[in-house]
Structure 1
Amino acid sequence: MTPTAWISLTTDYGLADGFVAVCHGVIGRIAPAARVIDVTHLVPPGDVRRGAAVLAQVAPHLPYGVHVAVVDPGVGTSRRAVALVAPGGLLVGPDNGVLLAAAQALGGVTSAVELTEPGWLAAEVSHTFHGRDVFAPVAARLALGDPPADAGPEVDPATLVTLPPPVLRREADGFTAEVLTVDHFGNVQLAAGADLLTSLPEAVEVAGRPAVRGRTFADAPAGSLVVLVDSAGLVAVARNGGRAVDLLGAAPGTTVTVRGRIRG
C-alpha cells in the first residue's frame, strides 16, 4: 500500500497519565515521519458509543490516513483486534463497534483483518494495554505502507461487532431521540437527522421545556433553548449563552423528546 503521513488517535485514556505519550512514542519509533492527530483522549472511560460517534464525525474531515480508536473495556478478553480498510482511510482498534460508524463515513468496509501476526505487535503483549502493544505498532506499520493483509487473517466484514442503533421514534407532534454526545459547550446532540426539524413549528418544547427552532444559537433569547442542525448535520439542543445540558439533565444514552408547542 502507499505510505500515509497521518495517524489519528481517539481514546478514553485521559490526560493525567502517560498512556497517550507511550502510544505516540511507539508510533514514533516505528514510523518517525508519521504525523499524529489527537482527536480526543477524553472519551468517558469505556463509553464505546461516544468514541464511535466522535470518530465518525471527525474522520471525514481528516487527511487520508490510519485512524486508531481505543475505547476498549474488553481489552485482554476474546474480543478481536482488527484493522479495517475503507475507501477514505484505514481504521485500527478493538472489534467492539467503535470503528464501524467511522468506516461507514469513510465509504464502508471493503476488507478487514484480525491483528494476530506477532511481527506486527510488541514482543510482549500486555493483557491491559493493547493501545501500546497492538494498535499503535499496527498503525505505524500501516502508515509505512505495509499491506493490512500481512497483519493477520482476513475477517468477513459481516461478522464485525455492531453497536445497537440509537433510539429514534417519530411522534405525532415531534420525535424522541437518543442523546449521542454532549460537547464541551454543553450542546446536546441527538440521533436525529435534520429532516425531522422541517415539519416542526418555530415554537417547540424539549423535554417539556420551551424552546425555539432556529439556525444559530442567537435565534433564541439569552439563556433560552434552541433546537438546530449542528455541524455534523444532526439535530442538537443548545442554549444561547449557556449550557443546554444543565437545563435538560441529559446524558449520552438517555432520550430527549422534541415536539411542537402552542404559544400561549
Structure 2
Amino acid sequence: MAGFHCLTFLTDYGLEDAFVAICHGVASQIAPDVRIIDITHMVPLGDIRRGAVVLSQAVPYLPPAVYVAVVDPGVGTARRAVAVEAGGSIFVGPDNGLLSLAVAAAGGASRAVSLTNQALWLENVPATFHGRDIFMPVAARLATGTPLDETGEPVEVSSLVTLPAPEWRLAGTELAGTELAGTVAHAEVVTVDGFGNVQLSLPGTEAHRAGLIPGAAVTLAWDGRETVAPFVTAFGDVAPGELLCYRDSGDWVAIAVSQGNAAGQLGIRAGTRVTLAASAPGGKRPRW
C-alpha cells in the first residue's frame, strides 16, 4: 500500500483545550510528511448527525486521504473502533454512524476492519481519549502505508452502523389543469451551518419539479407556522434581513436570511420537517 499524502481531522473537541493539538502531535511523530487538514472541531458536542453531514460535504472537495472523525459519546463502551475503505480513501473513527454518510459520498464501503491491533495504538490507553490513543495513531500509520488488514479484524461492511438518510418527497396536487396545479415538496432540515442557514434534504436537482425556480414565491410551513420567501439565486437578491430560499453550494434547497440567521429567526433545527409550496410571482400556491 503506497499510503496517502493527506490526513483529515474532524471532531467535537472545540478549540479551548489542547485536544486537537495533542492529536496533531501524535500524527506528526508517526507521519511527519503527511499533511493534516482540519475540517472542523466545532461540531456540537455529541452531535453525530451534524458531524456526519459536515464530513460528507467535505469529501467531494478533498484529495484521497485518511479521514479521522471523532464525535464519540460512546467512547469507552462496546462500540467498535473501525477503519473503512471507500472510493480510494480510508475513514477512521467510531462505528456509531459518524462515518456512514461520508463513506456513501465516497462511493460506498469496499471493506472494513475493527481496530483491534493494539500494537498500533499508543501505550496505556484509557477509556476516554480514543482520538489520541487509537484513531490518530492508526490513521497516521495507514497514511504512511500500513496495510488496512494489519490494523485489526475484518468486519462485514453490512454490519457497520449507518444513519438513516434524510427524507424528502414531492406530492402533486389534485388540481391539475387549474391555476393551483403544482407540486408540494416535503423535506426535513439536514443541518444548520454557522451562519444559521438551513439546509434541507431536497436535492437542488429536484427543485424545478416543485416549482422552486428563481422568481417563484415559496410558502414554507413547519411546526404549525407558515411564512413566504422568494426563491432566488444569491443572498444579495433580497434586502438585508429578508428571508430567502435558494440552492446552496452543495446543491441542496436551503433557507436563509440575508445577513441574518434563518434558523434562529424561524426556530428551526436539524430534523424539523418543512413543506414548500411554490407559486409564480402574483399567482396562487398549490394547496397542501
For the aligned pair, the TM-score class normalised by the smaller chain equals: over 0.9
Which residue in the other structure is 1:87 paired with?
87
> Offset of 1:137 from its aligned partner?
0.4
Contact 1:59 1:67 in 2 (8 A): no
Aligned partner letter, 2:211: L
Contact 1:211 1:220 in 2 (8 A): no
Aligned partner letter, 1:44: P
Q: How does 1:65-104 map to 2 (within 5 A)?
A: 65-104=65-104
> Offset of 1:37 from its aligned partner?
0.7
Q: How does 1:1-264 map to 2 (within 5 A)?
A: 1-172=1-172, 173-198=183-208, 199-200=210-211, 202-207=216-221, 208-261=226-279, 263=282
Q: Aligned to 1:154, what secondary structure does the other structure show?
A: strand
> Aligned partners of 1:222 and 1:175: how far apart in 2?
27
Contact 2:48 2:72 in 1 (8 A): yes
Q: Aligned to 1:231, what secondary structure does the other structure show?
A: coil
> Offset of 1:253 from its aligned partner?
2.1
> Offset of 1:261 from its aligned partner?
5.0
Contact 2:10 2:39 in 1 (8 A): yes
Contact 1:26 1:132 in 2 (8 A): yes
> Offset of 1:165 from its aligned partner?
2.4
> Offset of 1:258 from its aligned partner?
1.7
Deviations 1:155-203 (A, max 9, x none): 1101100112223243444223221111122111111111342132501
Contact 1:60 1:88 in 2 (8 A): no
Q: Aligned to 1:139, what secondary structure does the other structure show?
A: helix
Aligned partner letter, 1:206: L
Bigger radius of gyration: 2
> Aligned partners of 1:241 and 1:226: how far apart in 2?
11
Q: Tell me the matched-pair count.
A: 264
Which residue in the other structure is 2:176 paired with?
none
Aligned partner letter, 1:188: V
Q: Aligned to 1:103, what secondary structure does the other structure show?
A: helix
> Aligned partners of 1:255 and 1:71: how far apart in 2?
25
> Aligned partners of 1:88 and 1:62: how far apart in 2?
12
> Aligned partners of 1:220 and 1:91: how far apart in 2?
41
Structure 1 stretches of 4+ with a deviation exceeding 6 A read: none
> Aligned partners of 1:222 and 1:197: how far apart in 2?
24
Contact 1:92 1:139 in 2 (8 A): yes
> Aligned partners of 2:241 and 2:40: how far apart in 1?
29
Contact 2:205 2:251 in 1 (8 A): no
> Aligned partners of 1:87 and 1:189: how far apart in 2?
25
> Aligned partners of 2:3 and 2:114: how far apart in 1?
21
TM-score (norm 2): 0.87
> Aligned partners of 1:203 and 1:220: how far apart in 2?
13
TM-score (norm 1): 0.95
> Aligned partners of 2:58 and 2:82: how far apart in 1?
20
Aligned partner letter, 2:98: V
Aligned partner letter, 2:153: P
Identity of aligned residues (%): 49
Q: Aligned to 1:52, what secondary structure does the other structure show?
A: helix
Contact 2:69 2:98 in 1 (8 A): yes
Deviations 1:29-49 (A, max 9, x none): 111111111100010111111
* Bigger mean CA deviation after superposition, 202-211 or 68-77: 202-211
> Aligned partners of 2:185 and 2:116: how far apart in 1?
45
Contact 1:120 1:138 in 2 (8 A): yes
RMSD: 1.6
Contact 1:167 1:255 in 2 (8 A): no
